[in-house]
Structure 1
Amino acid sequence: MSRSRENSTTTPTDGTTADVVIVGAGFAGLAAADRLLSMGLSVQVVEGRDRVGGRSLSGEVAGVKVDLGATWVSRRHTAIRDLAHRLGCTTTGQFAEGRNVLWSNGRRSTYKGTIPKMSPVALADMARMQMALEKLTSTVDVDTAWESPGADQLDAISFGEWLDRKHALSTTRAMMTIVSKVQWGCSPGDVSLLHVLRYIRAAGGLNHMLDVDGGAQQDRITETTQEIAKRLAGQLGDSIVLNAPVRSIIQEDSGVTVCTDSTMISAEYAIVTTAPEHRAGIEFQPSLPDKAEGLVRTWRMGALSKAFVAYEEPFWRTQGLSGEALTDTGTVFITFDVSPDDRGPGVLMAFCDPRVFDGFGLEERRGRVIRQLADLYGADAESPIDYVDHCWGAEPFAPGGPHPVAAPYSSVAYASALTEPHGRIHWAGTETAGEWAGTMNGAVLTGQRTAECVARRLGVREASSA
């Protein structure tokens, strides 16, 4: 059943026509518009925020541009890298030289590599659990995980419950909790095991998901990831309308009509790129099918916050430290060095648990982060020159991130609706991707593929050579 909402009957004051209307100006929506325009079709993109980029957002600390949202690209993320190159954006390798820091059970230690230094028993348990995850991951079809062998059983338990059943040691569970917080913005007990396996498979395996060198954290976009979106939007020009939350999408046999508070757009087809949960604010006429409605209800967004602390120089580098740290307690649970170079300023990026972060004022949040950095990096961390943070779960429009938290039972029941068109409405967005789901690369690929699908329905087969 469709949801009614206050102001849903607002009468738009003007109208626009296009071949295709696209809801959302993140990477999927912009990539779809770019591809359709290259095919000679007309498009109109409507975005509820006052900016483009979706979950990619630029910030600044001590004069250094930083990524408040999506950050890294892998060597294998060719779609987003090709787009960045075309638009004149460059990459910077993620700094990873030196030893990493681990704060565990109230003690600080350092280590090399991806997996922290542990006791032989703890290392053996971590290897055991990683092998078990990889074995299960190999059985999952990345495009239709919900149809994989044993999908019902894998979807019926949470990642945390699986760790319990496998009798994972506390050290292993602490590491997997960090993975869950970074990837889905939730604890292991909140997310379906099948959903975890799907994302690991989509990311190229657990090692590729976690590694810096040769992995998913290989490079950053020097100009920030949102700059890619801004430059692409600049090429799309008047095709994009900001500050235009979509209130309703009405489809008839001849086309669709997308209504915002101020404009009404008529088109033959629509591409909706918003995350499933955020479709709840749109009234669909006719109503969404039951599975698509279930997706909206159950694929809730996770929450993750980030803080950036700047210093005169990256002092930790002179101590032989990489700036990468893992902690099992407190507000901060992982850090990275995102300094521009050895000369400074030095910038540490900290991922923060929103449950013990978002509810406090700026000064309290700042104090919590800096106190924890002092534990990790010493007294020098107590004297920053600048600080900035961003709480994605507290955003006023389309809150949450980085990805949906698909709870147990919600994938087998509803995930097939991720890509099934609803009449003239098609879906795109990183959540709908098979390979590279959950990445900017996946978002670009789904935008391009959905655009090509809609173009075929419009009778257009090949992109122009322009």
Structure 2
Amino acid sequence: MTDDKKPYDVLVVGAGYAGLTAAYELIKAGRTVLLLEARDRVGGRVHTQRFDDGSYVDLGGAWVGPTQDRLYALARAFGVDTFPTYDTGKSTQYFRGRVKRYKGLIPPLPLFSLLSLDAAIRRINKLSKTVDLAEPWNTPNARQLDTLTLADWMNGQMSYETARQFFTIAVGAIWAADPADFSLLHALFYTRSGRDLDTLMNVKNGAQADRFVGGAQTIADRMAATFADRIVFNAPVRTITQTDAQVEVTTDTTTYTASRVVVAIPPALQADIRFEPALPPQRQQLMTQLPMGAVWKCYAIYDRPFWRDQGLNGLAATPDGPITVTFDNSPRDGSQGILMGFVLGSKARDFSRLSDNERRASALQSFATFFGPEAARPRRYLDHSFLNEAWSKGCYAAVPQPGFWTSAGPALRQPVGRIHWAGTETSDVWNGYIEGAVRSGERVAREVTG
């Protein structure tokens, strides 16, 4: 073990978008900063895998959409272009053994199920407007809303099983979790954090509106390049010790000293760090009540986007899984065809138990069901889950257990002495998204310098 005798103004733990943004802003403000990252790359839960032929896929976060202003601004600042997610043509539904094609946002469901689904979406949007975004625990009827799960609410509001099935598809795609996993209060907070449920679900004018040329990690790579000498890779933090005068951060090889530390990793990972002295009870409770979401992204790469020849947009949905939602993730010029399918929530955990070959066969069967036999013969197949990564433990973001917001929520952003907290989970706007991570980095930089 060695000591880095140089005292820093700020040590930042985690080089995802939150930690990178915090470090970038603090350096601009004239602070001496060192960024410690457990992985051998930046980006965190945003990871672009690039291939020799120039193609790429986003294994983690991928999209940007309206009102995600800070992420668009970073893209412009670092010369990264965006392009619209392909959604021209008909969408696909697979239900009760039948494939149906349809236009617009409304799936071809039985009339009363469709009315029930539409009413549920409108109720969620209306209820979400009552949430106190800055302090969700102060929302009217917060305790009751935090005790009920979203599944409880669905069962009380939606009398048609078909409506519940398709609402559950949307829930999985938005939260990477099942409706029984989190409270109605969190559902309402998250919905308002991203404007409304329609925005979270949609491509056009929605959270999936645009993608990044070169992949979503490109901004992170270019930002990190501006202060590469201040980043230490393969440096997981094991201990954070604070006194009245300073804070010490210890990795496997080195102890660093600073005036303050910004912890910009998910709460589930914070629980693996030893804090001396121990954190306050509410903060300790918080780290055990925020497990990560569960998702696999399955990619099939073809010579061309053949489904477009059939007038299809690559969007598909089914309650039957394992893949329940698909998108056209082809490059901007359509020079290759790339289908991406989500396996979500409990289905993702089941998917994790399969062998590589079993996952491939299962995913390609789903693609073939949606888009025909040609979809079963890709040039390349790959899949990825952050569930199996020690430095993420899941994706997209933490999914608070029922009761979290009203018992431990106030500790989420509250500094503990010289320790400050960042990460998309701490953002009150676009919580759970790359935009939320960026905003949290900007917020914590102001907090430290203020």
Q: TM-score range by the shorter chain?
A: over 0.9
Contact 1:139/1:148, CA 8 A, preserved across alignment: yes
Q: Give the match for residue 300 of structure 2.
A: 309
User: C-alpha separation between the residues in 1 aligned to 2:167 and 2:259?
Assistant: 46
Q: Give the match for residue 241 of structure 2.
A: 250
Q: 1:359 aligns with which of 348, 353, 363?
A: 353
Deviation at 1:184, TM superposition (A): 2.4
Q: Equivalent residue of 1:270, what SS?
A: strand
Q: Give the match for residue 6 of structure 1.
A: none
Q: Give the match for residue 213 of structure 1.
A: 204
- Tell me: CA distance 1:343–1:241, structure 2 relative to 1, closer, same or farther (3 Å): closer
Q: Give the match for residue 274 of structure 2.
A: 283
Are 1:232 and 2:253 an aligned pair? no
User: C-alpha separation between the residues in 2 aligned to 1:272 and 1:383?
Assistant: 44
User: C-alpha separation between the residues in 1 aligned to 2:173 and 2:233?
Assistant: 29
Q: Give the match for residue 196 of structure 1.
A: 187
Q: 2:62 aligns with which of 71, 76, 86?
A: 71
Are 1:171 and 2:162 an aligned pair? yes
User: C-alpha separation between the residues in 2 aligned to 1:271 and 1:425?
Assistant: 6
Are 1:33 and 2:23 an aligned pair? yes
Deviations 1:397-454 (A, max 9, x none): 3311111111111111011111111011111111111111111111111101111110
Q: Equivalent residue of 2:105, what SS?
A: coil
Q: Give the match for residue 257 of structure 2.
A: 266
User: C-alpha separation between the residues in 2 aligned to 1:224 and 1:256?
Assistant: 36
Q: Give the match for residue 43 of structure 2.
A: 53
Q: Give the match for residue 12 of structure 2.
A: 22
Q: Equivalent residue of 2:144, what SS?
A: helix
Q: Give the match for residue 223 of structure 1.
A: 214
User: C-alpha separation between the residues in 1 aligned to 2:277 and 2:365?
Assistant: 53
Deviations 1:289-334 (A, max 9, x none): 1111111011111111101101121111010100000011121111
Q: Equivalent residue of 1:133, what SS?
A: helix
User: C-alpha separation between the residues in 2 aligned to 1:392 and 1:177?
Assistant: 22
Q: Give the match for residue 390 of structure 2.
A: 396
Where does the alignment leave 5 or more consecutive residues of structure 2 unmatched? none
User: C-alpha separation between the residues in 1 aligned to 2:17 and 2:332?
Assistant: 28
Q: Equivalent residue of 1:186, what SS?
A: coil
User: C-alpha separation between the residues in 1 aligned to 2:122 and 2:334?
Assistant: 41
User: C-alpha separation between the residues in 1 aligned to 2:256 and 2:332?
Assistant: 47
Are 1:380 and 2:374 an aligned pair? yes
Amino acid at match of 1:33: A
Q: Give the match for residue 341 of structure 2.
A: 350
Are 1:111 and 2:102 an aligned pair? yes
Greater mean deviation of Cα atoms: 184-193 or 33-42: 184-193
Amino acid at match of 1:277: A
Deviation at 1:255, TM superposition (A): 1.3
Q: Give the match for residue 435 of structure 1.
A: 429
Contact 1:60/1:388, CA 8 A, preserved across alignment: no
User: C-alpha separation between the residues in 2 aligned to 1:344 and 1:122?
Assistant: 40
Q: Give the match for residue 423 of structure 1.
A: 417
Contact 2:47/2:60, CA 8 A, preserved across alignment: yes
Q: Equivalent residue of 1:437, what SS?
A: coil
Q: Give the match for residue 7 of structure 1.
A: none
Amino acid at match of 1:287: A
Amino acid at match of 2:36: V
Contact 1:14/1:262, CA 8 A, preserved across alignment: no
Query: Normalised by the size of structure 1, how large is the TM-score?
Result: 0.93
Deviation at 1:115, TM superposition (A): 3.0
Alignment of 1:65-104 (within 5 A): 65-104=56-95
Are 1:370 and 2:364 an aligned pair? yes
User: C-alpha separation between the residues in 1 aligned to 2:9 and 2:369?
Assistant: 57
Q: 1:451 aligns with which of 441, 445, 449?
A: 445
Deviation at 1:206, TM superposition (A): 0.8
Greater mean deviation of Cα atoms: 244-253 or 344-353: 344-353
Provide the identity percentage: 38
Contact 2:83/2:332, CA 8 A, preserved across alignment: no
Amino acid at match of 1:418: L
Where does the alignment leave 5 or more consecutive residues of structure 1 unmatched? 1-10, 457-466
Deviation at 1:343, TM superposition (A): 4.8
User: C-alpha separation between the residues in 1 aligned to 2:333 and 2:109?
Assistant: 30
- Deviating above 6 A after TM superposition, structure 1's stretches of 4 or more consecutive aligned residues are none
